[in-house]
């Protein structure tokens, strides 16, 4: 052995020690594997795909890597051969994804074209199917929310995000210790959904009509689930109209122009509202003409109270105001009669139906909303009677607390003299006279 070979060996040994160890990526995403580059295995989207804006998908038949995206990603020095054609590769991947969206048979997995879900999202989805959907459903839509809406969510991501948002709001109430975490998830999904839903509503067609209808309903439910805030009068707030009211009007436009047959089509075709069997209340409604007392001889407590409101409206000096308020009182009369029954007083604990109670909000006039925003006494009195109907919806967890909040805001905004016309709603809500 020559002395000159010793320094050479030493240099080789030092060079090997300086080299970074190489670990093979066995759980990398399909995109990186196709590109034959090392994947950092970050979920739900690896950093390579994030940096170049291409779809990232993991093989669902193998366990997902546990590495999650750090809040701050440190750029590591590039090693290996240069990748100068990533832009072209991104275009090819995007075109391939578009083709798979058109033809599902080309897709590697049924999850490639839906929003990327992490463990939190899967937990929210499980809770929605198990609990949230049942809490939203009523007798005429028992399977719509548990089966039809999730199917629609797989086609329209905005519907899926709104489902997850409502589920998160529910869990924030059921698990107070984790409320902040679930509220953050709810707001994240809601924000993501609103952008897509707004875009969808601008391009309304018969094909996306079911998604627009369900999106508007879920946005309303999510707004109620966030809970009331000071100055919020349901239809208006201190800073103007509430956003979901415009969506309600959008739904009204959808139904009036395309009909329920367009709404309940596609993924919702099997869930067209069924005609319920006649019950006591429905039987009374069918005999309305023969049994309902004349407005001048009102026997029910709710009808007597509304008659006082009619008398108040009749003496208003402005004819347009009289017409606007008279129409709202008539609509409210129909909702109260459908809820409590003709000839029946308003019973505490009555469970109202969402579609019956919200029919008043659904048909409310712009002129009434404008006067309510200006805190006109007659508008506040009419809204005070609607509080009774809201109380009957408290079987829905996201409606709880709204009736009392609304009445408190109304009493704060009205003069003491106006409370005479609110005596019955106050007594129904709190059991005491004003």
Identify the pLDDT of residue 22. 53
- Residue (of 167, 129, 123, 150) closest to 214 by Cα position: 150
Identify the pLDDT of residue 25. 59
Q: Are 235 and 224 in contact (CB under 8 A)?
A: no
Identify the pLDDT of residue 24. 59
Q: Which portions of the chain are predicted below pLDDT 50?
A: 1, 61, 64, 66-78, 80-86, 89, 93, 96-97, 99-113, 276-297
Q: Are 343 and 299 in contact (CB under 8 A)?
A: yes
Q: Are 429 and 403 in contact (CB under 8 A)?
A: yes
Identify the pLDDT of residue 315. 95
Angstrom distance (rounded) from CA 170 to CA 126 = 12
Identify the pLDDT of residue 104. 41
The token duo for 85 is 């054609």
- Give me the residue spans of the domains in the chain: 27-56, 119-233+249-271, 294-430
Burial readout 65-77 (b: 16 or more C-beta within 10 A, e: otherwise): beeeeeeeeeeee
Instruction: Output the 3-class SS for the chain.
Output: CCCCHHHHHHHHHHHHHHCCCCCCCCCCCHHHHHHCCCCCCCECCCHHHHHHCCCCCCCCCCCCCCCECCCCCCCCCCCCCCCCCHHHHHHHHHHHHHHHHHCHHHCCCCCCCCCCCCHHHHHHHHHHHHHHHHHHCCCCCCCHHHHHHHHHHHHCHHHHHHHHHHHHHHHHHHCHHHHHHHHHHHHHHHHHHHHHHHHHHHCCCCCCHHHHHHHHHHHHHHHHHCCCCCCCCCCEECCEECHHHHHHHHHHHHHHHHCHHHHCCHHHHHHCCCCCCCCHHHHHHHCHHHHCCCHHHCCCHHHHHHHHHHHHHHCCCCHHHHHHHHHHHHHHHHHHHHHHCCCCCCCCCCCCCHHHHCHHHHHCCHHHHHHHHCCCHHHHHHHHHHHHHHHCCCCCHHHCCHHHHHHHHHHHHCCHHHHHHHHHHHHHHHCCCC
Angstrom distance (rounded) from CA 159 to CA 272 = 18
Give residue-wise pLDDT tens across range 46-61.
888 877 767 777 755 4
- Residue 68 forms beta bridges with which residues? 43
Angstrom distance (rounded) from CA 67 to CA 61 = 18
> Which CATH number is 27-56 given?
4.10.240.10
């Amino acid at each position: 052995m020559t002395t000159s070979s010793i320094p050479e060996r030493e240099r080789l040994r030092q060079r090997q020690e300086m080299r970074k160890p190489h670990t093979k990526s066995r759980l990398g995403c399909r995109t990186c594997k196709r590109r034959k580059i090392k994947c950092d295995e970050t979920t739900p989207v690896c950093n390579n795909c994030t940096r170049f804006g291409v779809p990232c998908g993991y093989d669902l038949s193998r366990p997902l890597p546990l590495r999650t995206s750090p809040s701050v990603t440190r750029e590591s020095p590039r090693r290996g051969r240069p990748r100068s054609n990533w832009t072209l590769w991104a275009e090819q991947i995007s075109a391939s994804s578009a083709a798979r969206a058109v033809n599902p048979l080309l897709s590697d997995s049924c999850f490639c074209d839906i929003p990327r879900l992490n463990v939190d999202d899967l937990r929210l989805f499980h809770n929605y199917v198990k609990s949230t959907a049942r809490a939203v459903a009523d007798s005429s839509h028992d399977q719509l929310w548990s089966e039809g809406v999730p199917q629609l969510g797989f086609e329209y991501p905005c519907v899926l995000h709104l489902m997850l948002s409502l589920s998160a709001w529910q869990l924030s109430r059921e698990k107070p210790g984790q409320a902040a975490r679930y509220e953050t998830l709810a707001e994240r999904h809601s924000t993501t959904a609103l952008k897509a839903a707004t875009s969808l509503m601008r391009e309304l067609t018969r094909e996306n009509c079911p998604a627009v209808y369900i999106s508007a309903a879920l946005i309303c439910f999510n707004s109620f689930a966030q809970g009331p805030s000071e100055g919020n009068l349901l239809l208006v707030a201190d800073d103007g109209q509430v956003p979901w009211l415009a969506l309600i009007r959008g739904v009204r436009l959808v139904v009036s122009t395309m009909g329920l047959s367009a709404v309940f089509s596609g993924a919702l075709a099997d869930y067209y509202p069924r005609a319920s069997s006649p019950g006591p209340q429905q039987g009374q409604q069918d005999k309305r003409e023969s049994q309902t007392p004349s407005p001048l001889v009102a026997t029910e407590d709710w009808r007597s109270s509304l008659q006082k409101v009619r008398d108040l409206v009749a003496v208003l000096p402005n004819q347009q105001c009289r017409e606007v308020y008279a129409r709202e009182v008539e609509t409210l009369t129909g909702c109260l009669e459908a809820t409590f029954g003709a000839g029946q007083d308003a019973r505490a604990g009555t469970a109202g139906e969402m579609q019956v109670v919200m029919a008043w909000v659904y048909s409310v006039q712009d002129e009434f909303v404008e006067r309510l925003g200006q805190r006109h006494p007659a508008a506040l009195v009419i809204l005070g009677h609607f509080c009774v109907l809201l109380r009957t919806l408290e079987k829905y967890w996201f409606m709880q607390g709204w009736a009392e909040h609304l009445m408190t805001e109304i009493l704060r905004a009205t003069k003491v003299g106006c409370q005479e016309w609110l005596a019955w709603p106050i007594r129904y809500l709190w059991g005491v006279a004003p």
